[in-house]
Structure 1
Amino acid sequence: MPVEGFNPERDLTAPSLYSLNLSAAQHCTLAWVEDHGGLFDVIPVPVETVAEDCGNSVSTVHEALARLEALNLLVRTSAGLYRINARYYFTLHPELREMITAALTDPPVTPDDRARAPRKVSNTDARRRRTIRPVS
């Protein structure tokens, strides 16, 4: 079976939130995680605080977290911390997806012989080294 190449539209996107039929509590919980830095880092999600901020019950927030985790919109670490799936972020920001695509498909930057050679000493530095200064 042939191996498919990298396809940014397939590999860096997620279905739209509209198509996932999220409840209001799930939208609110996802927005809470996003607003508190969950896009770029793993964060603790205190259920009582989220329930109070979103105006939901604690059990509703637990159900929302479970559904968001089952949909892979939220990724839970072993320590019980959460972060938002990066594919969701790239779906929201197609211009960044294009930049990542270019970074993953462009050839790597490779040093040539000149880059590996010792650094050339400037004429001024060479003259300073040749100057004999008396010790006082």
Structure 2
Amino acid sequence: MPADSFNPERDLTVPSVYSLNLSAAQHCTLAWVEDHGGLFDPIPVPVDTVAEDCGNSVSTVHESLARLEGLRLLVRTAAGLYRINARYYFTLHPELRDMIATALTDPPVIPDDRARAPRKVSNTDSRRRRTIRPVS
């Protein structure tokens, strides 16, 4: 049985956020993580700070984090840090999803003999390297 080929519409997307029936607190918690850098790096999510920033109770933030983690919109690392699932980000930005899909399916760039050769130095560059200038 042949393996399925890479399909960016299937492999780099998640269901629509609207179809997940997120509460306002869950949307706010997800936005807080995104606004504080959780899109690119795992970050700590201090529940008290999120509750204060979003105007929710601490228990509501705990419930939001649990649901978002259960939906896999947030990925929790072993160190207890959170980051946003990259598939969620690519769902929001189809132009980047297409660019990534193209990058994954295009052939690799292969250096030729000229690229492996030493860099040619111009006469001006050679003179600059030989000139010793005093420090003023």
Report the TM-score, using the length of structure 1 for normalisation: 0.85
Provide the secondary structure at the position in 1 that maps to 2:103.
Answer: helix
SS for the counterpart of 1:110 is: coil
Say which SS state the counterpart of residue 66 (structure 2) adopts: helix
Q: Does 2:96 correspond to 1:96?
A: yes
Structure 1 stretches of 4+ with a deviation exceeding 3 A read: 117-126
Measure how far apart 1:76 and its partner are: 0.5
- Residues 3, 52 of structure 1: CA spacing in aligned structure 2 closer, same or farther, 3 A cutoff? same
Counterpart of 1:83 in structure 2: which amino acid?
Answer: R
> What RMSD over aligned residues (CA atoms) do the two structures have, in Å?
1.9
Shift of 1:115: 2.2
In structure 2, distance between residues paired with 1:7 and 1:107: 16
Q: One-letter code of the match for 2:91?
A: T
Alignment of 1:1-136 (within 5 A): 1-120=1-120, 122=122
Amino acid of the structure 1 residue aligned with 2:44 = P
| Range with greater deviation from structure 2 (108-117 or 86-95) | 108-117
Letter in 1 for 2:32: W
CA distance in 2, matches of 1:84, 1:125: 48
What is the distance in 1 between the residues matched to 2:66 and 2:124? 67
5+ residue gaps, structure 1, are: 127-136
Q: In structure 2, do the counterparts of structure 1 residues 113 and 58 end up closer, same or farther at CA, with 3 Å as the change threshold?
A: same
Query: Once the 2 structures are TM-superposed, how far is the Cα of residue 101 of structure 1 from its aligned partner?
Result: 1.0
Q: CA deviation at 1:117?
A: 3.2
Aligned partners of 1:30 and 1:119: how far apart in 2?
49
